[in-house]
Chains A and B, each alone.
Chain A
């Protein structure tokens, strides 16, 4: 009975161990980053203004930032809508506020309330208003209510996590294919640099530089991804036709791509690209979801369907599971191998384009060591380095675990060297927690 239960638990874990790890990490960070939240957005502004329904004349005081301006604007609209009057919006420092209050007092204006946010409400000028500015009447200082909520679970942070990992996650799809066939692709990191400088240079030299239009940008990006695919295809052909170990083949390709990145860019960062190029990496769609995140999601969806529902997926698993059996079953082992390395190259190229777009430039230093993070994401996601076993959904979870760990450490304020040590430790721990390995210990 006991062993039956144990079997069930370990069976459940084997499939979902990494999801569990991800959830545990999220719960932990949820508690560790619990903090007072002082909302400062349009929504908070409207809510605050609604509580001032009786007040006729108000003054709005915020800092001179874009975020605060939106906040102030929302309040003004709401108050005007409630038939109130906003005497002035101050966007500045405490001295500005003092000047304004003195002026208003001199003009004999009576104020009902001064609307602040959490930062301006704590200015010392607003202390003892009744004695300092008795001429203004009975003035209330109001700010949006604060509440406790984990920084980790703030919407912007969550979107940020996915956005930060997008490049690695995209590469990890190609790497999953390659590792499933029993290979490895070490060239993807260098391929990012190559792709980023190539697309930047194409835009600069042929696309029209800072004045490039959308068709030119799309053309340059597609050409770059295509060239990276060809380089991947070359690796695949070397692996498949000449049986050169993938480790060596892709190591060579890593050197080639890395070297070419420097040659193409003369070792400089290329940044003569238009603002609009940042649409891919930093733009947002409806509901403020970044384009890069949408792109990653689409790639994962397609890859997942390909691996679970198509002949291609079956063949990849077959080649990785038992190459000789696959050959004797009539599977074109050569074709499958060339295809997976081609896909890996193309996705690395796409990752490079996204990165160039995020950073609005291409430099040969991009993507340094990314191959290791990508491999880590795949392996943490449960794909066996021996090939034949693994899932795309696992890779997605693996990439998210990596991202969550890094994001969490940023939130908790570790410096980058400490972060590396912790990342290494947590990765080992995460792999140990995987159900399939627990069974081995038993």
Chain B
């Protein structure tokens, strides 16, 4: 079918959508239009209202005002089931997988393949495997989801949405945790779906992706439409200006020339499964990039170094002393901090206020004989809020009510507040918008310049290239290569090492 003809038909129209939360006007009359066979990129700063708009389309929130039309017919959404029945499949920014169920069961949770309520287990297995293979997942679909890494969970979420025969697919930052390989597989799939007439809404903070796959884009700022345009008629810096409302200097980071002494050294680390014989050293004042494909064991290495998991083999030395870490508390006592990649399950206390989330790891700094000086705590939080641009109406808001990117900034602030020596940062900018990313890069460089050692785990290769002094590439639980001359390295070189 010819694309021009397809675009004649308006698939979705959300008109004048308004949504207010106590104290926050998240959406102030946003209008979105989507045609068949097109990919619309939805852009905007952290907290601009993208996820809120999507949750309204998914029936998870009821809008205060505004109408939704599908194929010209008005749709009254009362709950997620209505949205699903109307042919809308949504991948939310925060995962909604059932931890105890395996990938297959999660994928078919809403619509099992069944006759008379009897589930066709084998058929589901085959179908799930097929979908996951297409996405480049290399784990057994029968693995319980609680054992999967964030990136693997993301793939399950995508497979779940694809398994529904939907006419509209919405993806809220699907690639935030994916490496280029999975991302490109996803894009091939999205392109096929688009050609078959599906309408796709795509949210991302990675602008290069937007140029790669989107047809049109719409920028939100503070809950209102700023610009709607064709992708070809905008430049990256223009988009950033629309998003933040001011100019952002990109790549203003400077690297340190001479790294200092080795702070942390690991030799022959192994845990029998995901990590096999990993040796590395991190120096004072250095940012060491660690990258590789999804499931290559990067997170597991960081967890061992942080005392969160116990290594079966190998030894860790800190400034020449042998460490025998048995708990996270011990590692923190040594000044080794881990920023987890899974902010919802392992990082945040979603129902507690933001300031408590921020200070939990450094309470002793604000306490005297166990009594917390709240004024000092709040003051410390506010200074981080300003330096990172955390968008939150007050420090007493529940962390769960923050937008994804702002949650990430709170977690990062938790560790920046505490004085340490080694920072193990697992996807530190996951879900963070372009403007704030630059700020964080500058903060991390400053952290390194002050003599800290940083291990930067990231799937976003431009980030790894821009920030790291050295890069290690992992594959299948082993370190497969080291790039010393980062200035002349390219994404292709890294991918070559990562895929082998």
A310-B367, A310-B371 as given contacts; A321 in contact with B20, CB under 8 Å: no
Contact A3 B64 (CB under 8 A): yes
- Of B64, B345, B350, B360, which is within 8 A of A324 by CB? B345
Residues from 318 to 367 in B contacting A, C-beta threshold 8 Å: 327-329, 332-333, 338, 340, 345-352, 356, 359-361, 363-364, 367
Contact A388 B20 (CB under 8 A): no
State in angstroms the CA–CA spacing of A11 and B24 once bound together.
14
Contact B363 A325 (CB under 8 A): no
A42 interfacial by beta-carbon distance below 8 Å = no
A7-B22, A329-B414 as given contacts; A309 in contact with B371, CB under 8 Å: yes
- Of A4, A312, A329, which is within 8 A of B370 by CB? A312
A327 interfacial by beta-carbon distance below 8 Å = yes
State in angstroms the CA–CA spacing of A130 and B437 once bound together.
102
Chain A, residue nearest B372 (CB):
A309
Q: Which residues of B contact A11 (CB under 8 A)?
A: 22
A317 interfacial by beta-carbon distance below 8 Å = yes
A3-B64, A4-B20, A312-B370 as given contacts; A328 in contact with B328, CB under 8 Å: yes
Contact A314 B20 (CB under 8 A): no
B267 interfacial by beta-carbon distance below 8 Å = no
Contact B340 A317 (CB under 8 A): no
Contact B350 A310 (CB under 8 A): no
Contact B360 A318 (CB under 8 A): yes
What residues of chain A have their CB less than 8 Å away from a CB belonging to chain B?
Answer: 3-4, 7-8, 11, 309-312, 314-315, 317-318, 321-322, 324-332, 388-389
Chain A, residue nearest B342 (CB):
A324
Contact A317 B356 (CB under 8 A): yes
Q: Which residues of B contact A326 (CB under 8 A)?
A: 349, 360
Q: Which residues of B contact A389 (CB under 8 A)?
A: 351
- State the majority secondary structure of interface residues on A: helix
B239 interfacial by beta-carbon distance below 8 Å = no
- Of A8, A311, A325, which is within 8 A of B372 by CB? A311
Contact B352 A318 (CB under 8 A): yes
State in angstroms the CA–CA spacing of A4 and B20 once bound together.
8
Contact B372 A310 (CB under 8 A): yes
A310-B367, A321-B350, A388-B352 as given contacts; A329 in contact with B360, CB under 8 Å: yes
Q: A318-B349, A328-B328, A330-B329 are in contact. List 10 more A-B contacts (CB 8 A).
A: A3-B64, A7-B20, A314-B359, A317-B349, A317-B356, A318-B356, A327-B308, A328-B340, A331-B360, A388-B352
Query: Which 6 pairs show the lowest CB-CB distances between chains A and B?
Result: A321-B349, A330-B332, A329-B361, A329-B360, A330-B329, A310-B370
State in angstroms the CA–CA spacing of A327 and B372 once bound together.
20
State in angstroms the CA–CA spacing of A321 and B349 once bound together.
5
State in angstroms the CA–CA spacing of A11 and B346 once bound together.
28
Chain B, residue nearest A322 (CB):
B349
Chain A, residue nearest B349 (CB):
A321
State in angstroms the CA–CA spacing of A211 and B367 once bound together.
48
- In the assembled complex, how far is the CB of residue B217 from the closest CB belonging to chain A, in whole angstroms? 31
Q: Which residues of B contact A322 (CB under 8 A)?
A: 345-346, 348-350
Q: Which residues of B contact A328 (CB under 8 A)?
A: 306, 308, 328, 338, 340, 346-347
Q: Which residues of A contact B360 (CB under 8 A)?
A: 314, 318, 326, 329, 331
Chain B, residue nearest A324 (CB):
B346
State in angstroms the CA–CA spacing of A326 and B360 once bound together.
8
Q: Which residues of B contact A324 (CB under 8 A)?
A: 345-346
State in angstroms the CA–CA spacing of A42 and B132 once bound together.
86
- In the assembled complex, how far is the CB of residue B363 from the closest CB belonging to chain A, in whole angstroms? 5
Q: Which residues of A contact B374 (CB under 8 A)?
A: 309
State in angstroms the CA–CA spacing of A218 and B372 once bound together.
33
- In the assembled complex, how far is the CB of residue A80 from the closest CB belonging to chain B, in whole angstroms? 58
Chain A, residue nearest B366 (CB):
A311
22 contacts between A and B (CB under 8 A): A3-B20, A309-B371, A310-B370, A310-B371, A314-B360, A314-B363, A314-B372, A315-B363, A317-B349, A317-B356, A318-B349, A318-B352, A318-B360, A321-B351, A322-B345, A324-B345, A325-B340, A327-B327, A328-B328, A328-B347, A330-B328, A331-B360
